[in-house]
Amino acid sequence: MKKISTFILMAILPLFAEAQTAAEVINKFLAAVGGEDKISSINTFQYKRAYKANAATDFNEEVTIASDENKFSRKKSILDRDFYYVLNGNAGWLKIPMGSRDKAPSYTTKDLNDKEKGDLMLEVKDGLMPFYNFEDKGYKLVGSVVDATVEGANTSKLTLEKTGIKREYFFDKSNGMLVREVWIINGVTHTLDHKKYADTKLGVKLPVESTYINTKDKKATAVSTEWVLENPTQGVSFIK
């Protein structure tokens, strides 16, 4: 009986030894992309993305976030028209282009409601990487880190949740890189798979080629991303 108990103990010990904590998974990722010291210094940033699904709904967006100042700007360009979603502290508005597309547009401004402002503020507070210092951002870890397979790769899955949103992150076990992120908000599940990372001028690796799909539109979309980490707010207006 003693031999059987010893055998069982020896069999299960490797499972406990190999189990990773959320902190270990995140720290491995931070080291892989350039180091926590560099990531922690990025509170203001901009990304420019092109979404292409070979459809009339293809669009570009330019998003600028200044987390320390509670400022947010999204320029969404579709069908040669630019729409601006702006948050500055407690104020938020949408600028809608008017007139024909062959002329310089004039804009009408519409105040955002509390729900719309809350959705933008979520992006502000989450910052560059929502899972970094996630507890300070109001997230709680759901369950433990579990194993999952993403397109043949062995990954560690981390699930976070706070009021209004649930996030799942999949980190490649071999190199620590984030290969998939899923977020569920307003009843829609969004999935972003990262295919390629590149170095930025600050020495941080960030995703530049991804694929995106959600459960509402169900269109597989190619996403290319350009990151601006130096003077990201230059030329961006947060004035109504």
Residue 4 lies in a domain: no
- Average pLDDT for residues 21-25, to the nearest whole number? 97
Q: How many separate domains does the chain show? A: 1
Whether the per-residue pLDDT at 213 is higher than 70: the answer is yes
Residue 31 lies in a domain: yes
Residue 174 lies in a domain: yes
Residue 2 lies in a domain: no
CA 42 vs CA 39, 48, 179, 181, 194: distances in Å: 6, 16, 21, 20, 20
CA 230 vs CA 126, 154, 201: distances in Å: 19, 35, 8
Q: Domain of residue 52: give its range.
A: 27-228
| 6's tokens | 């010893």
- Give the tens place of pLDDT for each residue, 162-197: 998 999 999 999 999 999 999 999 999 999 999 999
Residue 217 lies in a domain: yes
- Give the tens place of pLDDT for each residue, 117-140: 999 999 999 999 999 999 999 999
Cα 66 to Cα 72: distance, rounded to the nearest angstrom = 6
Residue 20 lies in a domain: no
The CATH number for 188's domain is 2.50.20
Q: Quick one: pLDDT at residue 197?
A: 99
Cα 44 to Cα 30: distance, rounded to the nearest angstrom = 18
- Give the tens place of pLDDT for each residue, 82-118: 999 999 999 999 999 998 777 788 999 999 999 999 9
Residue 235 lies in a domain: no
What pTM does this model have?
Answer: 0.89
Cα 147 to Cα 125: distance, rounded to the nearest angstrom = 28
Residue 52 lies in a domain: yes
